[in-house]
């Protein structure tokens, strides 16, 4: 059999050697890799400067002559030539015969860099006063025989050594500065430094950099996971799709409220996909220097193309993707717009990015530029909405795995008690329950710990030691009893869970409700909710004949709700079926209202009439049930906390009990472009403090009232 010759210069390695074999890395004798470091240039330059500076001084002690020694050598007749340099230095050249025959010249005979005969100058003399020196030379030459006389010459030379010594400090300072700046440019992130400021700051996940999050860790979001999994599967098995003529999507945009799991879904993609994954935030492109953002975009896509197929994930893309030309001060955001233009070009410009997929996440899709959202850039917009009952149960199962639970903990019950909670809220709830159980020195987390955690998250920290007078406490009790009574006696108000007059957070009292998980809301339902919110103030007026500042949050809520009914939802007969709602989110940049002054007056009057009508209806309901209201308030003053069962004893069974939701998938129907999110377990709060504190409540009210 014919044997082919092995190619020269390249050793064929066995499979064992390719994998490393038994040898330790870096120990192979065939490893000739040399990495050039630019710092060697600095070392060579430094050595050259030192050599130029100190080379002339080599052996200077043996060759330097004083006045007497100079006279002796010049008078000996062995001098061939005397050169006066810059009227400062006298160079003495000895004849070759004298160097060979006279042992006195042994030290200057040989060349310092070789064995050849040194051609000079052999000696130096420092001239103190040139006139006296000339006279001395003339006298010595006159005393010598004609054949022994030496030649004299004068030269003018530039002293490069002095010039180098003058420049050396500046060179050293510049060198140190360059060294420090290069060291800074090698820091973490690779883009926030001076020389690498235009480099991408994306974090790369590939190879040994493993992400432990998988799709199994993402509970709920079944529809979103199907489309995201499809992208990952396309990268793993492209033939399955290309055989049908399908093309890989260019990008996918994850849209949804905060805390719903957009970033978690992207982490799962990084953990599942076996391709390089670049992760960064939209704000990483933003910089005060002109052109930096666009440069970072170019560098990011350059790196992604080199490692294609790859995935780029941009979190909070609204930081650079905001619609162009919508700013109040036109031209003030040129740098951000340049960054966006470069991003648009890279995503689907003249040159195609084969094998590079873009993932992005935002909760402000309404403000993104339309060019960014078109097909070919972001082919898919995936809605990651608030979880429904079934999804909340699945999320609870994920977060309850590492916890030690008591036997009374029911996952289905927890899912029903947390309408409007996002995935992040549920994770926080589980952690708070564990902390509360640990505070009580329990070995396991019980059902009551989770209920306390819900109260803590919604209402705030309980303040049992807050100083409240008896008069204030009585007003608070009737205020909360008013909320509870009206919500119990109206058909569409949210079902009551419990009422308390224990201060919690910035509230002095609270009523907990469990809102229905509905996708559309009728006018009657909204009016009943307004009546329930006005129940506290109406009760104060009926019992005490005066009102307090405690209804601040209630009034704020119903005012916003009434204006939304009139101007957004078209639920006013006088205004008609019109809506001034701007789904694009650009109305904030407009200085004028989308309606006339006459219409504005009509809107204000309609809102006022609607609120007053609801208030009068609320007072009528409470007057018809005044005895029950007083009984409820007295029981509240006694127990401080009462529950649904206590209201059933006083008012009887509620006529309009909502239908029990079963854990099953339901189709999500958005009422008005998701104008407002589903409320968490609602809390009515009352504040009876001084007016200055009321202002703080308004600004810091994080509770949701019904």
202-229 residue pLDDT tens = 777 776 566 677 888 788 788 888 888 8
pLDDT of 563 reads 93
User: Is residue 434 predicted with pLDDT exceeding 90?
Assistant: yes
pLDDT of 320 reads 86
DSSP 57-103: GTTHHHHEE-HHHHHHHHHTT-EEEEEEETTTEEEEEE-HHHHHH-G
Mean pLDDT for 265-280 is 84
pLDDT of 620 reads 92
pLDDT of 120 reads 75
User: Is residue 560 predicted with pLDDT exceeding 90?
Assistant: yes
User: Is residue 40 predicted with pLDDT exceeding 90?
Assistant: no
pLDDT of 564 reads 92
User: Is residue 9 predicted with pLDDT exceeding 60?
Assistant: no
681 vs 685: CA distance, rounded Å: 13
| Lowest-confidence region among 49-58, 158-167, 622-631 | 49-58
Is residue 206 within 8 Å of residue 87, measured between CB atoms?
A: no
DSSP 656-668: -PPPPPPS-----
Sign of CA dihedral 324, 327, 332, 336: negative
| Lowest-confidence region among 8-22, 307-321, 407-421, 439-453 | 8-22
Mean pLDDT for 550-559 is 90
123 vs 85: CA distance, rounded Å: 13
pLDDT of 589 reads 59
User: Is residue 25 predicted with pLDDT exceeding 70?
Assistant: no
Q: How is residue 641 annotated by DSSP?
A: E
422 vs 677: CA distance, rounded Å: 11
∠425-431-435 over CA atoms, to 5°?
140
| pLDDT band of 188, cuts 50, 70, 90 | very low
Mean pLDDT for 184-200 is 51
User: Is residue 73 predicted with pLDDT exceeding 90?
Assistant: no
> Which residues neighbour 395 within 8 Å (Cβ) at sequence distance 6 or greater?
219, 220, 387, 423, 426, 427
| pLDDT band of 691, cuts 50, 70, 90 | very low
Among 466-475, 560-569, 649-658, the range with the most confident prediction by mean pLDDT is 560-569
E strand map for 401-550: 496-500, 510-513
For helices 691-700 and 552-567, angle between their N-to-C axes, nearest 10 degrees: 50
**If you average pLDDT over every residue of the chain, what do you get?**
77
CA distances (Å), origin 393, targets 412, 655, 669: 6, 29, 21
602 vs 473: CA distance, rounded Å: 40
pLDDT of 192 reads 42
Mean pLDDT for 387-398 is 88
pLDDT of 693 reads 33
User: Is residue 684 predicted with pLDDT exceeding 50?
Assistant: no
Q: Which residue has the higher pLDDT, 692 or 585?
A: 585
User: Is residue 668 predicted with pLDDT exceeding 60?
Assistant: no
- Which of 432, 480, 540, 635 is the catalytic position? 480
| Lowest-confidence region among 15-29, 170-184, 271-285, 543-557 | 15-29
pLDDT of 672 reads 34
CA nearest neighbour of 480 among 516, 518, 442, 510: 510
pLDDT of 611 reads 93
Long-range Cβ pairs for the range 172-175 (8 Å, 24+): 175/42, 175/45, 175/46
Mean pLDDT for 50-66 is 63
pLDDT of 365 reads 83
> Which residues neighbour 157 within 8 Å (Cβ) at sequence distance 6 or greater?
85, 86
Q: Are strands 203-205 and 277-281 parallel, antiparallel or unpaired?
A: antiparallel
User: Is residue 605 predicted with pLDDT exceeding 90?
Assistant: yes
| Lowest-confidence region among 149-158, 178-187, 391-400, 624-633 | 178-187
Q: How is residue 171 annotated by DSSP?
A: H
pLDDT of 430 reads 92
pTM for the whole structure: 0.62
641 vs 378: CA distance, rounded Å: 52
Among 35-44, 432-441, 647-656, the range with the most confident prediction by mean pLDDT is 432-441
Is 480 noted as a catalytic residue in this protein? yes
As a whole number of Å, the CA-based R_g of the chain is 44
């Amino acid at each position: 059999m014919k044997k082919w010759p092995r190619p020269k210069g390249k050793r064929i390695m066995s499979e064992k050697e390719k994998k490393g074999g038994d040898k330790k890395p870096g120990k192979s004798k065939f490893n000739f890799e040399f990495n050039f470091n630019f710092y060697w240039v600095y070392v060579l330059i430094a050595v050259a400067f030192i050599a130029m500076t100190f080379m002339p001084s080599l052996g200077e002690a043996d060759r330097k002559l004083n006045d007497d020694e100079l006279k002796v050598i010049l008078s000996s007749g062995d001098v061939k030539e005397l050169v006066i340099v810059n009227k400062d230095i006298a160079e003495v050249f000895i004849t070759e015969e004298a160097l060979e025959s006279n042992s006195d010249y042994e030290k200057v005979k040989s060349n310092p860099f070789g064995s050849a005969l040194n051609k000079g100058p052999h000696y130096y003399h420092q001239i103190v006063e040139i006139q006296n020196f000339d006279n001395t030379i003339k006298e010595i030459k006159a005393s010598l025989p004609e054949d022994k006389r030496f030649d004299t010459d004068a030269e003018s030379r530039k002293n490069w050594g002095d010039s180098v010594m003058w420049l050396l400090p500046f060179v050293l300072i510049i060198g140190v500065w360059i060294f420090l700046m290069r060291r800074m440019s090698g820091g973490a992130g690779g883009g926030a430094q001076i020389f690498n400021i235009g480099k991408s700051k994306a974090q790369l996940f590939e190879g040994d950099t493993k992400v432990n999050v998988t799709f199994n860790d993402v509970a709920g979001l079944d529809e979103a996971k199907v489309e995201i999994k499809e992208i990952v599967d396309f990268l793993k098995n492209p033939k399955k799709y290309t055989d049908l003529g399908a093309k890989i999507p260019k990008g996918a945009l994850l849209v949804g409220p905060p805390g719903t799991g957009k970033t978690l879904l992207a982490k799962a993609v990084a953990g599942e996909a076996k391709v390089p994954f670049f992760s960064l935030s939209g704000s990483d492109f933003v910089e005060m220097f002109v052109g930096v953002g666009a440069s970072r975009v170019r560098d990011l896509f350059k790196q992604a193309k080199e490692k294609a197929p790859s995935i780029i994930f941009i979190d909070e893309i609204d930081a650079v993707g905001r619609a162009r030309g919508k700013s109040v001060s036109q031209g003030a955001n040129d740098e951000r717009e340049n960054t966006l233009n470069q991003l648009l070009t890279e995503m689907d410009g003249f040159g195609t990015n084969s094998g590079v997929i873009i993932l992005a996440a935002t909760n402000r899709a309404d403000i993104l530029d339309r060019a960014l959202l078109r097909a070919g850039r972001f082919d898919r917009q995936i809605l990651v909405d608030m979880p429904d009952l079934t999804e909340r149960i699945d999320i609870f199962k994920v977060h309850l795995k590492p916890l030690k639970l008591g036997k009374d903990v029911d996952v289905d019950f927890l899912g029903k008690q947390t309408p409007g909670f996002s995935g992040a809220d549920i994770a926080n709830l589980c952690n708070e329950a564990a902390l509360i159980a640990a505070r009580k020195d329990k070995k396991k987390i019980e059902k009551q710990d989770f209920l306390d955690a819900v109260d803590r998250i919604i209402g705030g920290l309980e303040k049992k030691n807050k100083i409240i007078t008896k008069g204030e406490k009585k007003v608070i009790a009737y205020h909360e009893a008013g909320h509870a009574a009206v919500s119990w006696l109206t058909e569409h108000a949210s079902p009551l869970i419990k009422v308390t007059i224990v201060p919690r957070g910035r509230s002095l009292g609270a009523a907990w409700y469990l809102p229905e998980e509905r996708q559309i809301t009728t006018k009657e339902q909204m009016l009943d909710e307004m009546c329930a919110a006005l129940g506290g103030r109406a009760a104060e007026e009926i019992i005490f004949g005066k009102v307090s500042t405690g209804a601040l949050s209630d009034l704020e809520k119903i005012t916003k709700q009434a204006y939304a009914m009139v101007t957004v939802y078209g639920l006013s007969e006088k205004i008609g079926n019109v809506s001034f709602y701007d789904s694009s989110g650009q109305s904030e940049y407009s200085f004028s209202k989308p309606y006339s002054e006459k219409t504005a007056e009509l809107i204000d009057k309609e809102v006022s009439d609607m609120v007053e009508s609801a208030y009068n209806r609320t007072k009528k309901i409470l007057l018809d049930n005044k005895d029950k209201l007083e009984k409820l308030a007295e029981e509240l003053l006694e127990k401080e906390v009462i529950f649904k069962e206590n209201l059933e004893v006083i008012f009887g069974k509620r006529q309009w009990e909502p239908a029990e939701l079963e854990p099953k998938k339901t189709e999500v129907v958005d009422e008005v472009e998701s104008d407002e999110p589903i409320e968490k377990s609602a809390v009515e709060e009352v504040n009876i403090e001084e007016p200055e504190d009321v202002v703080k409540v308004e600004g810091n009210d994080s509770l949701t009232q019904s």
